[in-house]
A and B are shown apart, each in its own frame.
Chain A
Amino acid sequence: MPQLKTFRSIWMALALAMAILALPVFAQDPQATPPAEEAPPADASAPTDAVTGEPPADTRALDETVQDLKKDVVDLNKELFVLEEELLFPANTQVAVFVSMDIGEFFALDSLTLKIDNKEVANYMYTPREAEALLKGGVHRVYLGNLKVGEHQLVAFFAGKGPNDRDYKRGANLKFEKGVGAKYLELKITDRQRKAQPEFAIKDWE
């Protein structure tokens, strides 16, 4: 019965198609969604073993190896970061300058210039992504250096867009005493609601 055979093969194909087709749909956050969420669980080449609910052994073994390696590299990277900072900027001479922003309603930061003891030590242009990170609450360590014990002066020049989207430049300065320990200074850009103007200040973190 050749005709029956043909149709049987067709139905077999359809049955297999059903196995592939009838997949659960899972709506996910696009960022967290692997692109092939529709990967067939019942298909032989599917990533998971339907019985154990885990990926195939060879993939899993490699995945574990990759995870171990990544963890080692992450730790190693941290060790190198620590070494570099301790070597180049010892705690007793270290000076770090941070930038923070408040709401950012009256000022959009474009660039920043820093002078310590009348010498330019940093000149930083902010990308939109970085400016956004500041607005979200990030604090940027814009300068890391060394200073001797004693009195010093920090001058900061801010450039960007002020109220009504006009070019806006302002400065702030601070005399500070560098002791034996590390010194942290914060350049704060805040909104002064009453005056509808931004405010620039330098805070000395003891």
Chain B
Amino acid sequence: MLKLSRIAVTVGALLALSPALFSPAMAAKPEVDKLSPTVVRDLHFGDALFYYYQGQDFEAITRLQAYRQWGRMPHHDAETDLLLGGLYLSLGLHNEAGERFETLLTQSVPEGVRNRAWFYLGKIWYARGYLDRSERAIKEVQGRLTPDLEAERLHLLSNILMRQQRFDEAIALLNNWKGRRDQSDWLAYAQYNLGVALVRKGLVTEADPFLTSVGTLESGRRELRSLRDRANLALGYAYLQNNQPALAKPPLERVRLDGPFSNKALLGVGWADAAEGEFQQALTPWMELRDRNLLDSAVQEAYLAIPYAFAKLNANAQAAENYELAIRSFDTETVNLDASIAEIDDGTMLDKLLQRDANDRVGWFWQLKEVPDAAQSRYLYHLLAGHDFQEGLKNYRDLAFMGSTLSRWQDSIVAFDDMLDTRERAYAERVPQADAVLASGRLDKYGAERATAGGQLDQVEAAQDVAALGTVAERDQWARIVRLEAALLAAPNDDETNVIREKTRLAKGVLYWRLAESFKARVWNERRTLKDLDQALREAQNRWVRVQKARGSMPNNTGQFAERVEALRLRLEASQTRLAGVAKQQNSLLESLARNELEQQKERIGTYQIQARFALASIYDRAAIGGGSVTAPKEGATESQGDLEVVPPEGAPTDPPATEPAPGETPPEPPK
């Protein structure tokens, strides 16, 4: 058994669901919720894990599927399913993953494991925007999770409810939640969400304590500072909306001046002052805004708000001057926006976006980390950070990766074809030789000869024919003695012949003695030689059978491979065509999202521009009618003259200040 890090089955489930969750320490520490710990018992399962741990999900999924098909992971069936489910999720195959989990997560899986799996499944569905499915998955969780996961589950559910406008349910849920002392981060998020839900229900006063609590918390952490700003901004705007400008100012003034929400806060503070008739005071935050990036809608609005305030202060000269400045700035931005729209229309936006990302791994968890320095990027920061766009971009990137993988296979398919051709040629060359050998029956002949030799040895041994196993010289000597003996039989019986007879007998005796002495050893040697021969014959027999089999299966084997190669080639080509088509659709969708975003920005600027022009005309008209000139505001003037009002043209909507987080703003980190 292979001793590796102990991978609990549940860890398989969890690592399948979220790579960040798995760590060796976690694997080594047994938990009640886990299935009984197991070790990697099949090398091939470990091999798939090797790629999984490197984040090469596509490779891992391929290997798991292939090894399973070959039956190489008999000991890891359950883990394989869980891991595959997670890998499908990672590749964005949510339907497939969902189906697998729903089939897998039966009563046979420990409740803790099942709960976590449902929880992560719900989380994924939520992120994909499938709120109903997410809610169903979350509600499959039975009992309680660990405190942190339980807190996260509650927040996930409250978010689902709020995104579905089910504020009463969200409020009830959040009100009932009792976090632990060490869950202060989660508490802050819960309070924020509760405050927002109450505001959305129109209960601003009830929301105040929750949002104020979050808005005044002290923290050095970026996420919590950001949450604090958001809470203050939400409360401030809620009061503004509720016609309570005095109450709006304190929370708005708590928003950091260098944070991503400062533009909106400055605009709001100005509006709060304006609502109280403090136009001179309102100019301070608005003038600060004017020096900021005009791409921000709050800044754009400030360009109009400043001359509006000047007009209210009866400073018509400054009002006119600032309206002209606004018109010029809006003009420039419109030209830039048109140029960016034209760049999108040339169809290379996505490739430019992905150009910098050298990491070629696929996966649903991938995010665009760096925005390219393209002309349109600065207008698209908000869009690029958007959920829809990121999802589409991931898909586009995955499709591109898969396209390149299939291209590599296309090269291999050509090589497979060549290989099969070569095999067929080699086969054609060798077949006649093989057929000749097979037809010769040589193996049978050798077998028969072996049998004869064995029989002879048996006879020699039985007859104790010592001369039969002598050396060539000895056998020759023995034969000569035998011949001499035969000749001496017919010779006369005289002294001379008897001497020869005696010598022959003596020589025969000496030779026989020598042969008889080594007879046993020679028989043993012969037997051993026969044994070796038997082994060689058996090996030859095996090879013979293999050759026969190969001879019989080769045409089928090669033919089957050729058919498979051909079928896969067709599938490859079809998939590549589909990939190109779908990537194009994805590209079009993303480009249209980008184009819409820019068009909306352009439209908003256009609206502001019309308002500015109208107001400017109005100022000059009044100056002309009154026969006077536009003059500088009087110091401390607070009374509106009532005759230089800025009136938006009928039907021209005033766009909301964009209150989304600033570009590049990272979503809040979860409490650890």
Q: How far is the CB of A86 from chain B (nearest CB, A)?
A: 8
Q: Which residues of A contact B2 (CB under 8 A)?
A: 100, 139, 186, 188
Question: A53 is contacted by which of B130, B392, B409, B572 (Cβ under 8 Å)?
Answer: B130
How many angstroms between the C-alpha atoms of A188 and B135 in the bound complex? 46
Q: CB-defined interface of B522-553 with A at 8 Å, one 1/0 digit per residue? A: 00000000000000000000000000000000
Report if A71 contacts B (CB, 8 A).
yes
Q: How far is the CB of B386 from chain A (nearest CB, A)?
A: 4
How many angstroms between the C-alpha atoms of A138 and B124 in the bound complex? 26
Q: CB-defined interface of A146-187 with B at 8 Å, one 1/0 digit per residue? A: 000000000000000000000000000000000000001010
Report if B473 contacts A (CB, 8 A).
no
* Interface-lining segment among A72-80, A106-114, A115-123: A72-80
Q: CB-defined interface of A41-53 with B at 8 Å, one 1/0 digit per residue? A: 1100101101111
Asked if B3 contacts A190 (CB within 8 A), the reply is yes
Report if B290 contacts A (CB, 8 A).
no
Report if B484 contacts A (CB, 8 A).
no
Asked if A14 contacts B241 (CB within 8 A), the reply is yes
* Interface-lining segment among B151-159, B435-443, B628-636: B151-159
Question: B385 is contacted by which of A36, A54, A59 (Cβ under 8 Å)?
Answer: A36
Report if B388 contacts A (CB, 8 A).
yes
How many angstroms between the C-alpha atoms of A41 and B166 in the bound complex? 12
The residue in chain A whose Cβ has the minimal distance to the Cβ of B275 is A7
How many angstroms between the C-alpha atoms of A76 and B44 in the bound complex? 20
Q: Which residues of B contact A132 (CB under 8 A)?
A: 53-54
Q: How far is the CB of A79 from chain B (nearest CB, A)?
A: 6
For window 1-56 of A, CB contacts with B under 8 Å fall at 2-3, 5-7, 9-18, 20-42, 45, 47-48, 50-55
Report if A83 contacts B (CB, 8 A).
yes
Question: A32 is contacted by which of B24, B135, B365, B578 (Cβ under 8 Å)?
Answer: B365
Asked if A53 contacts B164 (CB within 8 A), the reply is yes
Asked if A25 contacts B386 (CB within 8 A), the reply is no
* Interface-lining segment among B318-326, B397-405, B455-463: B397-405
Report if B186 contacts A (CB, 8 A).
yes
A2-B647, A50-B164, A79-B568 known; A15+B129 contact, CB < 8 A: no
Report if B237 contacts A (CB, 8 A).
yes
Asked if A139 contacts B47 (CB within 8 A), the reply is yes
Asked if B54 contacts A50 (CB within 8 A), the reply is no
Question: A30 is contacted by which of B91, B395, B669 (Cβ under 8 Å)?
Answer: B669
Report if B412 contacts A (CB, 8 A).
yes
Q: How far is the CB of A35 from chain B (nearest CB, A)?
A: 5
A27-B155, A67-B94 known; A34+B4 contact, CB < 8 A: no
Report if B504 contacts A (CB, 8 A).
no
Q: Which residues of A contact B186 (CB under 8 A)?
A: 27
The residue in chain A whose Cβ has the minimal distance to the Cβ of B15 is A136
For window 77-119 of A, CB contacts with B under 8 Å fall at 77-88, 96, 98, 100-102
Asked if B123 contacts A20 (CB within 8 A), the reply is no
Asked if B654 contacts A13 (CB within 8 A), the reply is yes
Report if A197 contacts B (CB, 8 A).
no
Q: Which residues of A contact B306 (CB under 8 A)?
A: none
Question: B589 is contacted by which of A59, A70, A86 (Cβ under 8 Å)?
Answer: A59
The residue in chain B whose Cβ has the minimal distance to the Cβ of A41 is B163
Report if B179 contacts A (CB, 8 A).
no
Secondary structure class of chain B's binding surface, majority of residues: helix
Q: How far is the CB of B368 from chain A (nearest CB, A)?
A: 8
How many angstroms between the C-alpha atoms of A17 and B297 in the bound complex? 11
Asked if B241 contacts A11 (CB within 8 A), the reply is yes
How many angstroms between the C-alpha atoms of A205 and B406 in the bound complex? 34
How many angstroms between the C-alpha atoms of A5 and B653 in the bound complex? 11
Q: Which residues of A contact B666 (CB under 8 A)?
A: 30, 35
Asked if B129 contacts A25 (CB within 8 A), the reply is no
A39-B388, A53-B131, A130-B54 known; A24+B647 contact, CB < 8 A: no
How many angstroms between the C-alpha atoms of A54 and B132 in the bound complex? 7
Asked if A74 contacts B58 (CB within 8 A), the reply is yes
Report if B118 contacts A (CB, 8 A).
no
How many angstroms between the C-alpha atoms of A69 and B93 in the bound complex? 10
The residue in chain B whose Cβ has the minimal distance to the Cβ of A12 is B654
The residue in chain B whose Cβ has the minimal distance to the Cβ of A79 is B568
How many angstroms between the C-alpha atoms of A139 and B95 in the bound complex? 30
* Interface-lining segment among B59-67, B328-336, B491-499: B59-67
Instruction: Output the residue of A2, A10, A87, A137 with the most chain B CB within 10 A.
Output: A137
Q: Which residues of B contact A40 (CB under 8 A)?
A: 660
Report if B575 contacts A (CB, 8 A).
yes
Q: How far is the CB of A66 from chain B (nearest CB, A)?
A: 5
Asked if A62 contacts B589 (CB within 8 A), the reply is yes
How many angstroms between the C-alpha atoms of A79 and B47 in the bound complex? 18
Asked if B647 contacts A102 (CB within 8 A), the reply is no
Asked if A83 contacts B565 (CB within 8 A), the reply is yes
Q: Which residues of A contact B160 (CB under 8 A)?
A: 53
Q: CB-defined interface of A124-143 with B at 8 Å, one 1/0 digit per residue? A: 00000110111111111100
Report if A206 contacts B (CB, 8 A).
no
Question: B192 is contacted by which of A14, A25, A205 (Cβ under 8 Å)?
Answer: A25
Q: CB-defined interface of B1-15 with A at 8 Å, one 1/0 digit per residue? A: 011110100000000
Question: A18 is contacted by which of B58, B162, B241, B399 (Cβ under 8 Å)?
Answer: B241
Q: Which residues of A contact B65 (CB under 8 A)?
A: 74-75, 78
Q: Which residues of B contact A77 (CB under 8 A)?
A: 58, 62, 402, 405-406, 409
Asked if A54 contacts B47 (CB within 8 A), the reply is no
A26-B156, A80-B568 known; A138+B398 contact, CB < 8 A: no
Question: A138 is contacted by which of B52, B578, B579 (Cβ under 8 Å)?
Answer: B52
How many angstroms between the C-alpha atoms of A65 and B61 in the bound complex? 20
* Interface-lining segment among B103-111, B227-235, B344-352: B227-235
Asked if B199 contacts A102 (CB within 8 A), the reply is no
Question: A14 is contacted by which of B50, B53, B271 (Cβ under 8 Å)?
Answer: B271
Asked if B238 contacts A67 (CB within 8 A), the reply is no
- Could you jot down 14 A-B contacts, CB within 8 Å? A13-B654, A14-B656, A21-B237, A22-B234, A24-B158, A27-B152, A27-B186, A53-B134, A67-B93, A73-B402, A76-B406, A82-B69, A138-B50, A141-B47
| B interface residues with partner A (beta carbon < 8 Å) | 2-5, 7, 18-20, 22-24, 27, 40, 43-47, 49-54, 58, 61-63, 65-66, 69-70, 91-96, 123-124, 126-132, 134-135, 152, 155-156, 158-160, 162-165, 170, 185-186, 189, 192-193, 196-197, 199-200, 223, 227, 230, 233-234, 237-238, 240-241, 264, 271, 275, 301, 308, 365, 367-368, 385-392, 395, 398-399, 402, 405-406, 409, 412-413, 416, 419-420, 561, 564-565, 568, 571-572, 575, 578-579, 582, 585-586, 589, 596, 640, 642, 645-648, 653-661, 666-671
Closest 3 pairs between A and B when the two form their complex, measured CB to CB: A139-B46, A138-B50, A53-B131
Given A6-B646, A87-B416, A184-B43; 17 other pairs, CB 8 A cutoff? A6-B647, A18-B234, A21-B234, A22-B199, A22-B200, A25-B196, A27-B669, A32-B365, A35-B385, A35-B390, A47-B387, A48-B131, A63-B395, A74-B61, A133-B53, A137-B24, A141-B43
